[in-house]
């Protein structure tokens, strides 16, 4: 049985990295919808604007909720998708496979200008923040479809599991409705798979300093609260499903074994999502039956079902460096950025991927943050907070950030598309020892209202 599981994991995740294919970039940007009137977002407004967008740009409606409302649409020629992520106050633009970051930037700005012109009619705006600044005002209810109804129910089940795992659950299981990410997928080759995971894992503490942009008053110590919200929720029931790899992955076989220790928590039966207490893939397929719950249209019912080999398709993880079935690594740890700087995340990762050997040498020999007894996992958490730890030299950290950005710039120059200009805001952040969340909080402490930053981060 274990060999069968390993073969299934290999075919889903590893085999695609061996396929010959051109290098593409996949960009996904989630953005909060903010009602500037200080009231909850009206879902009907968001749906109507999505419908106008779909018509205006000749997208094809694809997803609908249980009441027939539009949840996603796709532009067939480019592969671009407009969708709502978890709820109607979190809008996502996903872009089809791209060669150049500028082609993504052009379409992103075109789409956002249209959307914000429509939202402005209601005194709403899309803005570039990793947490909706009206998180405590909005209804924060999930889209009523199978997937998001299941996810909301699953995340709210945490009180039943507090004694099962060594984790302190937070009390915001609705976090999926008000957190927004900037994600990039890059093709990965079989022979560089473990290096990409290990090296970009070492990079995570530095990324926290550059890209932090999710502040929630409930947890004032964090500049990037998104990651904590994921890790201390039911998604983090099994720590192998979220965050960083706590160990160095030494071989592809070890990576396959690691995936076997990740947990599955949902599947589908007869068109209905079933969620259940997370169980590792290895254990799941060794069981004869699983106990779960599904929504029958009126209430949740218990169900007992047998695992099927196809259930591996429902293994959903949220690692910072997440290997996908497409033969890509999805980089998931970065918050949504101010809209004028939205492509910084994709540019940073794209450039550094081109300089992987040099980045590996730089980080494996790093003495700036990696000489104080803390692991990458521990440093990532420390550097996600408002204050740089006393044991770190701020000047040395700045210089190392610039060294990393210089590598990214060289990687982008190697592509000969002029994309290195997209890194300019990151150099400014490194030199000023700031990031969007810190800039906002420093301004608020001086009496500048948060609405100034909502509007500033909405400018393209």
Q: What are phi and psi of 41, to 5 degrees?
A: -65, 135
Residue 420 token pair: 């290195």
DSSP letter for each residue of 262-300: SEEEEEEETTEEEEEEEEEHHHHTT-S-EEEEEE-SSSE
Largest CA distance in the chain: 62
Contacts of 414 (CB under 8 A, 6+ apart): 354, 355
Buried b or exposed e, range 305-319, using 16+ CB within 10 angstroms: bebeeebbeebebbb
> Nearest Cα to 314, choosing from 333, 290, 348?
290
Is residue 426 within a helix (H) or strand (E), and if so which, with residue range? helix 424-432
User: For the range 384-392, what are the long-range contacts, defined as Cβ-Cβ under 8 Å and sequence gap of 24 or more?
Assistant: 384/208, 384/212, 384/222, 384/223, 384/224, 384/227, 384/228, 385/221, 385/222, 385/223, 386/220, 386/221, 386/222, 386/223, 386/438, 386/441, 388/433, 392/368
DSSP three-state, residue 206: helix
How many helices (H) does the chain have, and how many strands (E)? Answer: 15, 15
pLDDT on residue 34: 98
DSSP 14: I
Determine how β-strand 70-75 pairs with β-strand 60-64: antiparallel
Q: At what angle do helices 252-260 and 193-211 cross, to 10 degrees?
A: 70
Helix (H, G, I), strand (E, B) or coil at 83: strand
Give the CA angle between residues 152, 92, 440 to the nearest 5°.
95
CB 79 within 8 A of CB 96: yes
Domains, the chain: 19-141+173-242+320-456 (3.30.590.20), 267-314 (no CATH)
- Cβ(182)–Cβ(347) below 8 Å: no
pLDDT under 70: residue ranges of the chain: 1
User: What pLDDT was estimated at residue 1?
Assistant: 65
In whole angstroms, what is the distance from residue 449 CA to residue 133 CA?
Answer: 12
CA neighbor of 292 nearest in space, from 170, 148, 157: 157
Dist. CA 83–CA 86, nearest whole Å: 9
- Indicate the pairing of strand 263-269 with strand 321-323: unpaired
């Amino acid at each position: 049985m274990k060999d069968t599981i390993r073969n299934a994991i290999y075919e889903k995740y590893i085999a695609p990295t061996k396929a010959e294919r051109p290098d593409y970039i996949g960009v996904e940007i989630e953005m909060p919808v903010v009602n500037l009137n200080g009231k909850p977002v009206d879902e009907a407004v968001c749906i109507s604007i999505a419908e106008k967008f779909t018509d205006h740009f000749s997208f094809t409606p694809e997803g609908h909720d249980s009441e027939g409302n539009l949840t996603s649409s796709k532009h067939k020629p480019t592969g671009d998708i407009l969708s709502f992520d978890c709820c109607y106050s979190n809008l996502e633009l996903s872009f089809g496979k791209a060669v150049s970051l500028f082609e993504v930037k052009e379409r992103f700005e075109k789409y956002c200008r249209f959307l914000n012109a429509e939202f402005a009619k209601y005194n709403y705006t899309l803005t570039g923040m990793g947490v909706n600044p009206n998180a405590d005002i909005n209804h924060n209810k999930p889209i009523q479809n199978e997937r998001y109804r299941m996810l909301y129910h699953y995340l709210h089940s945490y009180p039943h599991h507090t004694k099962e795992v060594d984790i302190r659950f937070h009390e915001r299981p609705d976090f999926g409705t008000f957190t927004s990410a900037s994600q990039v997928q890059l093709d990965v080759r079989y022979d560089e798979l473990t290096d990409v995971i290990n090296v970009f894992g070492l990079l995570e503490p530095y990324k926290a300093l550059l890209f932090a942009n999710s502040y929630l008053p409930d947890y004032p110590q964090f500049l990037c609260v998104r990651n904590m919200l994921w890790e201390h929720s039911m998604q983090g029931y099994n720590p192998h499903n979220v965050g960083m790899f706590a160990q160095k992955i030494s071989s592809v076989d070890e990576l396959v074994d690691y995936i076997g220790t990740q947990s599955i928590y949902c599947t589908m039966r007869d068109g209905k999502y079933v969620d259940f207490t997370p169980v590792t893939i290895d254990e799941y397929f060794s069981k004869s039956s699983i106990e779960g719950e599904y929504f029958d249209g009126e209430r949740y019912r218990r169900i007992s079902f047998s695992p099927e080999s196809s259930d591996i398709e429902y293994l959903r993880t949220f690692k910072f460096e997440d290997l996908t079935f497409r033969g890509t690594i999805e980089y998931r740890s970065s918050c949504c950025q101010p809209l004028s700087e939205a492509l910084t995340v994709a540019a940073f990762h794209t450039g550094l991927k081109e300089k992987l050997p040099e980045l590996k040498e730089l980080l494996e020999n790093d003495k700036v943050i990696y000489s104080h007894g803390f692991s990458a996992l521990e440093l990532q958490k420390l550097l996600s907070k408002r204050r740089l730890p006393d044991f770190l030299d701020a000047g040395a950290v700045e210089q190392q950030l610039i060294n990393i950005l210089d590598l990214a710039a060289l990687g982008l120059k190697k592509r000969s598309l002029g994309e290195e200009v997209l890194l300019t805001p990151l150099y400014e952040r490194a030199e000023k020892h700031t990031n969007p969340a810190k800039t906002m909080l420093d301004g608020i402490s001086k009496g500048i209202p948060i609405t100034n930053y909502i509007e500033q981060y909405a400018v393209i």
